[in-house]
Structures are given as structure tokens and as C-alpha cells.
Amino acid sequence: MVIVPASPEPPAIAVFARPPLAGAAKTRLIPVLGAAAAARLQRRLTLHALAVAKRSAVGSVTLWAAPDGQQRFFRALRRRCGVDLRGQSGDDLGQRMAAAFAAHAGPLLLIGSDCPALTEAHLAAAASALVDERHAGNDAVFIPAEDGGYVLVGLRHPQPQLFERIAWGSERVMTQTRQRLSEHGLRWVELPTLWDLDRPADLARLVTLAGFAGWAGVHVG
């Protein structure tokens, strides 16, 4: 009798997001867009990230809300998009990401809502790099960001040490993460770099993407 090995467990997808609150959302864009429009953009980016995650059909999708899932916006998304809703926990971004990986335990891709250039194809490629039998030796997959961070991290198993001693929000995030990976003898893959939406200059690229053309006409708030 021939025994067929079980297929690797497909990775789930975690989407990290903050509520679209005027004055607290996309604060670096407020000088250009105004507080209300920046909050609307945060709402649109979150909806887009969830839609991409769902359309990718990679695995189950969970929305991780900050600081928790009690905001009406997040509860509405749970009903509208049919995703699980969890609250983030931890004192900094690293602790919050480590907690999300620990809660899932199996293969997981984690993304934020700030990279509208991320597509279903990117998620499929990351999933393949993480769990495809041809890449069985990989412990992690990343999509670096142009600003020195990353827009996606995927782990085969939780690796909390990867999120320690990182200067979150700086241009050193990916460099320091590579150091943690090497220190702990982990194998990883990096997919082509993408950009995330942080600065006013990024708005010019945003309006070239499908679904975001309307932001070309947004006036200074």
C-alpha cells in the first residue's frame, strides 16, 4: 500500500488594522488630506486589505483590531466580510505580532492595511514559499518595504524571538529582523520589495491603483 503524505497545512492570514478615527488615523497624511479624509482613507485601506486576503483564497482570514475589537467599525467588518475578529495585545508592535502568531500556532501570514500594492498574487507566492513541499526548509517569508520595514511576515511556526529588540517604525526593521533570523539559525525567503502608504508623496502612487483613483481629487483638508 502506498502512503500519500498529508498535504501541508495552508497558512491562515492575519490582517492588522487600526480604527479609522479622525485625528488618530494616517496622521502623517493629515497635513495634506485633513483629519477626516485621512480617516476615510484608513477605512478604505482596511476594506481593501481584507478583500485581497479573502480573494486570495490562501486560508482563513482573521482581523486583528487595535487596540481591541469593540469599535463599531470592526464589528461591522466582521459581519460584512465574514472574518473572525480578535483584539491585538501587547505593548509594542513586536509583542502584538508575536501574540497573533502564538494564538494561531500553525502557518500564518501577517499583513497590515498600509500596503495597497499588495495583491492576491503576492499572498499566494508567500504561502507557497512558506508551506509548499518544494520549500520545506523555509521557516519564514517576508515582503520587505521600501522604507526599511516589511509589509508581510509569514512563519511556519511561532518565532517570538524575531520580534524582540527591533526598532519598530525605523528604517532598520528589516535589517534587524535579518539579524534575528540568522542568530536563531532560521531559513527565510524574501519576495520583491513593495511600498507602503505612509507619506504624502505616496499618494501619487496610490491613485494609480485599481479602486483608489478617486483619491486623486481629494483636496487639502
- Summarize pLDDT for 136-153 with one digit per residue, the tens: 779 999 999 999 999 999
pLDDT in tens, the chain (221 residues): 333 344 468 899 999 999 999 999 999 999 999 999 999 999 999 999 999 999 999 999 999 999 887 888 998 988 888 899 999 999 999 999 999 999 998 899 999 999 999 999 999 999 999 988 776 779 999 999 999 999 999 999 999 999 999 999 999 999 999 999 999 999 999 999 999 999 999 999 999 998 898 876 564 44
Strand order in the sheet with 140-144: 84-87, 61-65, 12-17, 108-111, 150-155, 140-144, 188-190
d(CA 124, CA 137): 18
The DSSP bridge pattern shows strands 140-144 and 150-155 to be: antiparallel
pTM equals 0.93
